[in-house]
Chain A
Amino acid sequence: MEYAQAVPLKYAIDPDECIYLQKGKCGNCKDVCPADAIDYEQKEIKKTLNVGSIILSSGFTPFDPSKFDNYQYAMYPNVVTSMEFERILSASGPTHGHVLTRPKSSKKKDAENVKAPKKIAWLQCVGSRDMNRCDNAHCSSVCCMYAIKEAVIAKEHVGDDLDCTIFFMDMRTHGKDFERYYDAAREKHGIRFERSRIHTITEVPGTNDLSVRYANEKGELRNEVFDMIVLSIGLESSKQNIALANKLGLDLTPQNFCKTSTFEPVATSREGIFVCGAFQGPKDIPQSVVDASAAADAAGAILAQARNTLTRSPEVVPETNVIGERPRIGVFVCRCGSNIAGIVDVVAVAEYASKLPYVEFSTDNLYACSQDTQDNMVQLIKEKNLNRIVVAACTPKTHEPLFQETLLNSGLNKYLFEMANIRNHDSWVHKNNPELATNKAKDLVRSAVSKVALAAPLAEAELEVNQTAMVIGGGISGITTAKSLAMQGFHTHLIERSGQLGGQALNLYHTASNEDVQEKLSAMIQDIEQNKKITIHLNTELSSVEGFVGNFKTTLSSKRKKKVLEHGVAVIATGAVPFQPNEYCFGQDSRIITSLDLDKKFMDNDPILQDLVNAVFIQCVGSREPDHPYCSRVCCTHSVHNALELKKRNPKMNVYILYRDIRTYGEREILYKEARAAGVIFIRYSVNQKPGVVLSDGKILVTATDHVLDRPVEIEADLLTLASSIIPYKDEKLAKFFKVPMNDDGFFVERHAKLGPSEFATAGVFLCGLAHYPKPIDESIAQGQAAASRSVTLLSQKTIHTSGTVAKVNPAICSSCGVCLSICPYSAPSFLDAKARMFRGKAQINPVLCKGCGLCVASCRSGALHLQGFDNDQIFSQIFALSEAG
């Protein structure tokens, strides 16, 4: 078994290490296993599967740095890899989350020398961007961010005085909210960033401390000693991946990742086989999740006719009737590794809970959410005949559904459940006050117990799902979503505010891998125009949205005409716009242009491009600045590619790129390498010392400080391209229509930064393209497919269930005053009509429309309305419970 939270949580024998299997001796495990589960006779079985499609998600392998003799990873105990450091930080890791240096050997003397480190360094690009010591020319995309994260978390574990330094070449924080994380690491957490690639690590004689020698940005040579050095190892394709690709006859890139194209980002070179995750190229979790859904969509599109032919229905555990039973409450207190148990005395809380009224059983768990605890919980519910459950752990906003599932599996109605938030609202926010935090945890548990004692099983309303989809935005991601949904068999309406489909892609010349954007785009547009399952609405905007998941009713307005559209899901693909620069003399000279203007010149074959002597690019125009504190992700690759295009057209041209960090992540790094080889000159500037641009005597004079020579340089530019940022529409109206949030920058906020990148927390509403965050075409298309895939998981169900937390009327005491009808924002209450058999004219609630806000309940003057799950007696009991002394 690999770790305590493994799924499935079963032990397995490693045949290479097992003495019995290797030498025929031992057999201890068979003797001691009470379940008689040990079987030495199991052999490899070959099975043949007939499937309609294959998805390869075989991931990456972390780079092995032991071949680098200059870092002595294999020899020095305190040189560790970033993967090992993740385990050191983890509460379920070898040191239980305590950051400690490592002993040289298991001898007692060495073990005693273990200490809490005071200085840790991270070395970036180990096994990435390196053709000298290994063959990995690519950037691994994720190491900059994980190194910052490890440094921040290490400081959290060890304390603020831990000295963390990250040695890097370019800091690549190009993802959503990454730049802010980087800023906070530098400014708030005090992490030091040194732009330098460390050549050699040596051990300080007589100790296991590590010494490095490096030249800092000013060119000064420094010697520094660290207690521990973390090698930020890169991602590469495993040998098995390469063998698998060869066996299947798939093309690989020169970096041994699976080859795909910009316009079909998850399709391999073989029909019917798709790829996702890091086998397609080094990428982070959200991008892997996007790709994964995209691959599911691509496979679904070719198999749509066979949908539901091979699936089986899961067994439903029959619900136990608990009505009328005395409450028998089970309390599970989660340690959350050290997140809770590090501050709150969980054993004392569990012990305390066991003495509360109606509590039949209480315990503490390492991770309440892990599979083993879940199985155990089902067992305990049945064994102890529990009929109400309290979990004291993190927040119900993320984990309530998981535990409710556990209740269902044990035959309990899922509303017989309550959570006490002793992590987010307690251990995390009172870390200097363990005693008071423990008291607070007891109070919260008592409050939850008193509430759950009054909980009743609730029924959920069933509603039909309208099988039509609406996609808002006819750019490249919206087009992709519409096409995917149509291919999966669902009628789709594509809404575009302008008179033309294509969005920002209409302004682009070539992709980074040299595909002609206009040619591909017009083929895509033609494709969907001919698709009978797609209705395109041009020059159309939304004027109102009603309804909810499965049953939306949207009013479209076009040239003063209004039309109502009924649909089951909505996809927001409204895109973004290029920023118009307000510096570097933009607008004062026709030779000072934006990146998109340059693409236009390429498309028009503008003769001016032939005769340029000096072409200059300035990066980060409007990005990573106080007004737009995020990285626009695409501009570095765009400029590097355009620089190469200029060089191709006229190799004699001098091309300069003025940049802050070059962020050609993943295999885009190869372009950066090519550009340097082609003689493109890269000059770095810092945000405090931005390049100067002056117009003088008809000349464009660009000044910058050369970071290698540390001297000012002046370039007379014949063409100055400003890599301007991508800014969102900040469409507040749309956000309000679908009740979806926007971040401070104006990009929409997805359900979960890692695990739900293409959907909203609002059920039935999905997200893709630039409206989510700046991204290149391949990622926009993948997310367009992902949004379709996520939509299909809803559309392919005929019916869905609403929440049981809805209002209910006791008609016997309703006075028919009508306050609930007038106050409800969702039109859920109505009067029973005059022909009703009973309670004519009394109020009733439509549970499908009811959102469970409780406004009507609080306003009801007769006390006839109840909010199930949050009823008066339950909230009062919580208030009373909180006032009791702990």
Chain B
Amino acid sequence: MPKNIIGSVLVVGGGIAGMQSALDLANSGYYVYLLEKSPSIGGIMSQLDKTFPTNDCAM
């Protein structure tokens, strides 16, 4: 076992997957750096209108 384990994670990409990873890790006791190239998070999903198959709003 390495001794100096760092309790933080870098998540690259703030779309739906990156946000979910970041939330899970943060809620599990790890510090998260969420990196996103554009000025806002949400990724492609935030550009969608509704989602299948429930027709729920994507926002």
Contacts and interface: CB of A to CB of B under 8 A. Distances in A.
Of the four ranges (under 10, 10 to 19, 20 to 34, 35 or more), the interface on chain A belongs to 35 or more
Interface stretch (A143-151, A596-604, A605-613, A837-845): A143-151
A754 B48 CA distance: 13
Contacts of B15: 57, 59, 277, 288
Interface string A78-95: 000001001101110100
A1 B39 CA distance: 7
Interface string B36-52: 01111111111111111
Residue with the highest number of chain B CB atoms closer than 10 Å, among A58, A180, A305, A306? A58
A59 B44 contact: yes
Residue with the highest number of chain B CB atoms closer than 10 Å, among A83, A149, A175? A149
A789 B17 contact: no
B21 A296 contact: yes
Contacts of A176: 53
Contact of A7 (B21, B40, B44, B47): B40
A754 B30 contact: no
Contacts of A307: 7, 28-30
Q: What is the predominant secondary structure among interface residues of chain B facing chain A?
A: mixed
A57 B11 contact: yes
B55 A311 contact: no
B50 A149 contact: yes
Residue with the highest number of chain B CB atoms closer than 10 Å, among A5, A153, A793? A793
Interface in A721-758: 753-755
B17 A57 contact: yes
Given A148-B52, A152-B55, A285-B16, A51 B21 contact: no
Contact of A54 (B10, B31, B51): B10
A820 B17 CA distance: 47
Of the four ranges (under 10, 10 to 19, 20 to 34, 35 or more), the interface on chain B belongs to 35 or more
A259 to B, nearest CB: 17
B12 A55 contact: yes
Contacts of A240: 37
A526 interface: no
Nearest to B6: A52
A178 B52 CA distance: 8
Residue with the highest number of chain B CB atoms closer than 10 Å, among A50, A90, A180, A240? A90
Nearest to A248: B12
A56 interface: yes
Given A3-B46, A311-B7, A370-B59, A754 B51 contact: yes
A522 B13 CA distance: 36
A180 B53 CA distance: 9
A3 B42 CA distance: 11
A774 interface: no
Given A5-B46, A276-B21, A306-B5, A145 B52 contact: yes
Contacts of A152: 55
B30 A299 contact: yes
A279 B21 CA distance: 14
A303 B6 contact: yes
A367 B10 CA distance: 31
A310 B4 CA distance: 13
Contacts of B21: 55, 57, 276, 292-293, 295-296, 299
A647 interface: no
A285 B56 CA distance: 13
A302 B55 CA distance: 38
A461 interface: no
Contact of B59 (A153, A367, A793): A367
A403 B45 CA distance: 22
B56 A277 contact: no
A246 to B, nearest CB: 14
Contacts of A789: 24, 28
B1 to A, nearest CB: 7
Nearest to A184: B53
Contacts of A370: 59
Contacts of A792: 24, 28
Nearest to A142: B52
Given A52-B30, A176-B53, 12 more contacts: A6-B42, A52-B5, A53-B10, A59-B43, A59-B44, A62-B44, A83-B47, A285-B51, A292-B20, A295-B21, A370-B59, A793-B28
13 contacts: A8-B39, A53-B9, A57-B13, A58-B12, A175-B53, A177-B53, A285-B51, A288-B20, A296-B22, A299-B9, A303-B6, A307-B7, A310-B7
Q: 3 closest Cβ contacts across the A-B interface?
A: A277-B17, A306-B7, A57-B18
Interface of A: 1-3, 5-10, 12, 49-60, 62, 83, 86-87, 89-91, 93, 97, 145-146, 148-149, 152-153, 175-178, 180-181, 240, 244, 276-279, 285, 288-289, 291-293, 295-297, 299-300, 302-303, 305-312, 336-337, 339, 367, 369-370, 488, 753-755, 789-790, 792-793, 796-797
Interface of B: 1, 5-31, 33, 37-57, 59
